Amino acid sequence: MIDKKKKVTFSDIAKYTHFSKTTISRYFNHPETVTEENKKIIEEALQALDYHENKLAKVLANGKTEFIGIIIPNLSMHYYAELLSQIISTYDTFGYKFLVFESQNDQAKELQYIDELMAYNIEGLIMISHFPHSEVLSHYPIPIVTIERESQYVSGVTTNNYSGALLATKHLMDINNDIYIHINSKLTENNPDYYRTKGFLDQCQANNLPYDLRLQDLGNGFEEMNAIYTSLFEDFERLYKGKRKGIFVCNDTHANILLNIIYRHYGHLPHDYNIVGFDDSSISREAIIPITTIHQDIKGLAIGAMEIIIKEIEATKQNKVVQHTYQRVEPTLMIRKTTHQ
Q: What is the pLDDT of residue 27?
A: 84
Contacts of 112 (CB under 8 A, 6+ apart): none
Q: What is the pLDDT of residue 198?
A: 98
Q: What is the pLDDT of residue 2?
A: 45
Nearest to 249 by CA among 221, 277, 228: 277
Q: What is the pLDDT of residue 9?
A: 82
Q: What is the pLDDT of residue 4?
A: 43
Q: What is the pLDDT of residue 60?
A: 47
The H-assigned helical ranges of the chain are 10-17, 21-29, 36-49, 55-62, 78-88, 91-94, 107-119, 134-137, 161-174, 194-206, 222-240, 252-266, 282-286, 298-317
The span from the CA of 49 to the CA of 64, in Å, is 25
The span from the CA of 17 to the CA of 312, in Å, is 35
Count other C-beta atoms under 10 Å from residue 152's C-beta: 14
The span from the CA of 147 to the CA of 149, in Å, is 6
List the chain residues with pLDDT less than 50: 1-4, 60
Domains of the chain with CATH codes: 10-62 (1.10.260), 67-159+298-330 (3.40.50.2300), 161-296 (3.40.50.2300)
Q: Report the amino acid identity of residue 106.
A: D
The span from the CA of 182 to the CA of 229, in Å, is 13
First to last CA, the chain: 76
Q: Provide the sign of the torsion angle of the four alpha carbons 182, 183, 184, 185, taken in this order.
A: positive
Q: What is the pLDDT of residue 130?
A: 84
